[in-house]
Structure 1
Amino acid sequence: MSKKEDSGGKKCSHHTELYAEVPASCLPIVYSPEYNITFMGLEKLHPFDAGKWGKVIRFLKEEQFITDEIIVLAREASEADLLVVHTARYLNRLKNAILEGSREWSLVVATITEIPPLLFLPNFLVQRKVLRPLRTQTGGTIMAGKLAIDRGWAINVGGGFHHCSSDKGGGFCAYADITLAIKFLFERVEGVASATIIDLDAHQGNGHERDFLEDRRVYIMDVYNRHIYPGDGYAKRAIKRKVELDWGTEDSEYLQKVDLHSEGALNEARPDIIIYNAGTDILDGDPLGGLAISPQGIIKRDEIIFRAARRRGIPILMVTSGGYQKKTARIIADSILNLHRQGLIGEEALDVAGPSHVSLMMSKSVSSGATLAAI
């Protein structure tokens, strides 16, 4: 399909349902029950808590911060949406099975999700029970990018698949949602021409780094355990502010570095939006992260990033990324509640910020004119 200009002068290649108007009564918190991966207990074979997203929402409801009526319901990213970043060859590899006799073997998906038994399930079940939830979370990140511009902040309770690039997945990441959210904004929203990724998951975010290696519009700060997966030296060339941590790094050192380097990053490049990858696999005892940050340290870390964005009037999109302990859902919920208590998110957050870049963006934001996308 040839590219056509939208009403704001941006080049858009396809119609999307992901940039629908959202009622003002909704908070920019994006979620769908479809995020959660549950099928015959197979999700328990990976250390990732594949139901943590629903638990976060349940905790927020119990604290009476949200109700179903004010959550923005995530939509599944369509193939046309995914093709904004992904190659057709990669998407076909996810879609197609390897035929051997009468069986279809889902080798690629089993490898990416690190759940070997998926190899032995019928391919149509793998598509429905594993890839569809990941596509819905990806759609949620793209939606939250637009909401962040409109409202000054947004949280996708899922997403953060930072090991996936345009043509390769890995580490439980099948779709490049961070890259997609940024590319959608660049293509569709007037006035968005630069982005800063602050990646604080315990692992290096090699997926978005590979995607933006030659793109000067995107500034990447990455803080990670230097000794663990993926160790992608090629992708590291894209990192503008690299902070490599050692095993067992604790709160004091960690928070000092996060504060120092986030301030430095945002002083070096004044972006139109911040994408904050807020992985909780930095938590002490995480089987994959190898760091030793307390729950209170994670809550403080998130506050540091949101406060830095708020001081500068920069819209911020948060995604939840990795976290491999059952208690991480509670910590994510507690952190969101703390951000609200601090006046950094919620209906009053824009008033706290005062006149800012956000008010300019709200007047320039471009809508596709699709139907409402909220519960």
Structure 2
Amino acid sequence: MGTSSSHSSPPSMEAAEELRRNRILSSKLYFNVAPSKVAVIYSPSYNIAFLGIEKLHPFDSSKWGRICQFLTNEGVLDKNRIIEPLEASKDDLLVVHPELYLHRLKSSVNVSMILEVPPVAMLPNCLVQQKVLHPFRMQVGGSILAAKLAKERGWAINVGGGFHHCSAQKGGGFCVYADITLCIQYAFVRLNISRVMIIDLDAHQGNGHETDFSDDRRVYIMDMYNSQIYPLDYEARRYIDQKIELKSGTRTKEYLEGLDRELEIARNQFNPELVVYNAGTDILDGDPLGRLKISSEGVVIRDEKVFRFAKEMNVPIVMLTSGGYMKSSARVIADSITNLSKKNLIDLNSSTNNNL
């Protein structure tokens, strides 16, 4: 990517864009999936469990596995039909992240600062890479693959991902890699898509993707979040196309009525070819970080509304599970996926049917 010569100059915008495109085209993350599989993406490698450090952050780091366990134990989903993604490689990550940022992640101290888990700083880097960052890179692979599956099947759910506080240049808030940005950049190149709508309904502002797409009119961002909590990124708020700021304590009825209004506005403002839905469950009543008061049933209804919005617009949808800081989140997500199946908004039985 350059030489050690003091006279070398950074690549031109055109050269940098060509390099990005070539990395995307040579990536192995888009692979053909057998028709017998359903468009649900998950790997046991998503889960973080290492010497108890996962208990030192409020995030439920085994949430992803428990979602699938609920679904398979209850006969909603056949575990043999779940799609396992590939891990995002360094070249995949370089599509968005600068080399310097990835180099910083080789330091346990830097990773500790992003994750806000101080003991990580004292661990050998090899363990941090394998036990902490590897699961995140697997989830990034899942988010990227989800767009391809959604285009083919009409919908896809990555039981993970949604690291919306991470931008190309900076991580934060338990988000190390910018999987939403990567998912969309791959879709631009590999799926010939030019209009993407991000619907971010996590309790926190999605400042990472907002920063990355600040001057990209191909991406329309609708973000409904608690304006009184982290990250309080006022710069990134300027880049939200449709900003819905909630107050702590917002309840289910007000929330769902507001969502109906905002989805109708979004329908009239932008005509997407792909919807990326960041479906954080930290809006749940009792969540220590989200500080909203949305019932479990309200979350299920919320997800149904977004999927119905995409279906009515005849647009493929990617769902990412994002934030959620209570043990009950896994149960609620599993219930929501079950409801989507019952309402025929997704098909967990016949993957050859296109639900658009």
Is 1:223 matched up with 2:233? Answer: no
**Residue type at the aligned position of 2:321:** T
**TM-score, length-scaled by structure 1:** 0.88
Q: Residues of 2 paired with 1:325 and 1:53: CA distance? A: 12
Is 1:141 matched up with 2:151? Answer: no
Q: Secondary structure at the match of 1:73?
A: coil
- Residue correspondence of structure 1 range 1-375 to structure 2 within 5 A: 11-13=21-23, 14-95=25-106, 97=107, 106-190=108-192, 192-346=193-347, 347=349
State the shift of 1:352 in Å. Answer: 8.1
Spell out, residue by residue over 1:50-89, the C-alpha distance to the aligned partner (whole angstroms, 9 max, x if none).
0000000000001212222210002110111111111111
Q: Secondary structure at the match of 1:258?
A: helix
Residue 3 of structure 1 contacts residue 12 of structure 1 at CA under 8 Å; is this kept in 2?
Answer: no
Residue 193 of structure 1 contacts residue 217 of structure 1 at CA under 8 Å; is this kept in 2?
Answer: yes
Which residue of 1 is the match for residue 4 of structure 2? none
Residue 343 of structure 1 contacts residue 349 of structure 1 at CA under 8 Å; is this kept in 2?
Answer: no
Spell out, residue by residue over 1:318-359, the C-alpha distance to the aligned partner (whole angstroms, 9 max, x if none).
000000000100000000000000000015698685xxxx6x
Q: Percent identity?
A: 55
Query: Alpha carbons of 1:237 and 1:24: their partners in 2 closer, same or farther (altered >3 Å)?
Result: same
State the shift of 1:12 in Å. Answer: 3.5
Q: Residues of 2 paired with 1:111 and 1:136: CA distance? A: 21
Query: Alpha carbons of 1:352 and 1:135: their partners in 2 closer, same or farther (altered >3 Å)?
Result: closer
Which residue of 2 is the match for residue 366 of structure 1? none
Q: Residues of 2 paired with 1:11 and 1:93: CA distance? A: 24
**Residue type at the aligned position of 1:196:** M
State the shift of 1:267 in Å. Answer: 2.1
State the shift of 1:11 in Å. Answer: 4.6
Q: Residues of 2 paired with 1:352 and 1:133: CA distance? A: 30
The total of aligned residue pairs comes to 340
**Residue type at the aligned position of 1:65:** V
Spell out, residue by residue over 1:116-164, the C-alpha distance to the aligned partner (whole angstroms, 9 max, x if none).
0101111111111000000000110001111011110000000000000
Q: Residues of 1 paired with 2:282 and 2:16: CA distance? A: 40
**Residue type at the aligned position of 1:37:** I
Q: Residues of 2 paired with 1:85 and 1:116: CA distance? A: 27
Q: Residues of 2 paired with 1:263 and 1:108: CA distance? A: 42
Query: Alpha carbons of 1:265 and 1:54: their partners in 2 closer, same or farther (altered >3 Å)?
Result: same
State the shift of 1:112 in Å. Answer: 0.6
Q: Residues of 1 paired with 2:104 and 2:17: CA distance? A: 29
Q: Residues of 1 paired with 2:244 and 2:157: CA distance? A: 24
Query: Alpha carbons of 1:79 and 1:351: their partners in 2 closer, same or farther (altered >3 Å)?
Result: closer
Residue 165 of structure 2 contacts residue 171 of structure 2 at CA under 8 Å; is this kept in 1?
Answer: yes
Residue 198 of structure 2 contacts residue 277 of structure 2 at CA under 8 Å; is this kept in 1?
Answer: yes
**Residue type at the aligned position of 1:119:** A
Q: Secondary structure at the match of 1:37?
A: coil
Q: Secondary structure at the match of 2:26?
A: coil
**Residue type at the aligned position of 2:123:** L
Query: Alpha carbons of 1:218 and 1:315: their partners in 2 closer, same or farther (altered >3 Å)?
Result: same
RMSD: 1.8
**TM-score, length-scaled by structure 2:** 0.92
State the shift of 1:196 in Å. Answer: 0.3
Residue 30 of structure 1 contacts residue 72 of structure 1 at CA under 8 Å; is this kept in 2?
Answer: yes
State the shift of 1:266 in Å. Answer: 2.5
Residue 58 of structure 2 contacts residue 325 of structure 2 at CA under 8 Å; is this kept in 1?
Answer: yes
**Residue type at the aligned position of 1:12:** N
Residue 38 of structure 2 contacts residue 350 of structure 2 at CA under 8 Å; is this kept in 1?
Answer: no
Residue 12 of structure 1 contacts residue 188 of structure 1 at CA under 8 Å; is this kept in 2?
Answer: no
State the shift of 1:217 in Å. Answer: 0.2
State the shift of 1:261 in Å. Answer: 0.6
**Residue type at the aligned position of 1:90:** Y
Higher relative contact order at CA 8 Å, sep ≥6: structure 1 or structure 2?
Answer: 1
Q: Which consecutive unaligned segments of at least 5 residues does structure 2 have? A: 2-14
